[in-house]
């Protein structure tokens, strides 16, 4: 478990489906779905094709701050299109770099053009913290010679 691990390792540990919405849905529908599922972003899909990502940030900046109506605004009007995406073979470190450079918090994961998951900055940070804790435990065991347990 390191920052050189492939994103496929994180996806293997993530439960549940990947949530998406049509670009023709209203922003209100999208926000309701995000609230119901306790998630911060939705993939915007036309059929099986990823066209973008709609996040809470998109909502705040492109609807709330501009005084637009959630009921009358379509997802396609505020989503980040096109979506920056990665493959399952990208590393945790590469994804963190992309998120930082592009100022995004969610990356769809595509394999051969098909969506296979999504990773958030929270997923990556949790992975790194877990990896660091494992390294600390190994070093403590090495230094003290005492096995945990």
Tens digit of pLDDT for each residue in 65-119?
999 999 999 999 999 999 999 999 999 999 999 999 999 999 999 999 999 999 9
Check if the beta carbon of residue 51 is closer than 8 Å to that of residue 44: yes
Check if the beta carbon of residue 18 is closer than 8 Å to that of residue 53: no
Q: Name 76's Cβ contacts closer than 8 Å, sequence gap at least 6.
A: 23, 24, 44, 51, 52
Check if the beta carbon of residue 76 is closer than 8 Å to that of residue 46: no
**pLDDT given for residue 1 in this prediction:** 64
Looking at domain 7-144, its CATH architecture is Roll (3.10)
Distance CA 78, CA 72 (A): 12
**Considering the entire predicted model, what is its pTM?**
0.86
**Six-digit token string for 5:** 């691990």
Helix (H, G, I), strand (E, B) or coil at 42: strand
Check if the beta carbon of residue 79 is closer than 8 Å to that of residue 46: no
């Amino acid at each position: 478990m390191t920052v050189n691990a492939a994103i496929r390792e994180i996806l293997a540990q993530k439960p549940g489906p990947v949530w998406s919405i049509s670009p023709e849905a209203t922003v209100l529908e999208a926000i309701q779905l995000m609230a119901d599922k306790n998630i911060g972003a939705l993939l915007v899909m036309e059929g099986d094709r990823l066209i973008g990502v709609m996040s809470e940030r998109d909502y705040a900046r492109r609807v709330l701050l501009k005084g637009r109506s959630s009921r009358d605004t379509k997802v396609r009007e505020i989503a980040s299109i096109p979506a920056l995406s990665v493959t399952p073979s990208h590393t945790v470190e590469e994804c963190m770099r992309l998120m930082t450079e592009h100022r995004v918090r969610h990356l769809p994961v595509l394999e051969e053009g098909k969506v296979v998951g999504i990773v958030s900055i929270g997923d990556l940070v949790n992975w790194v913290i877990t990896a660091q804790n494992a390294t600390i435990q190994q070093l403590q065991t090495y230094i003290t010679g005492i096995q945990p347990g």
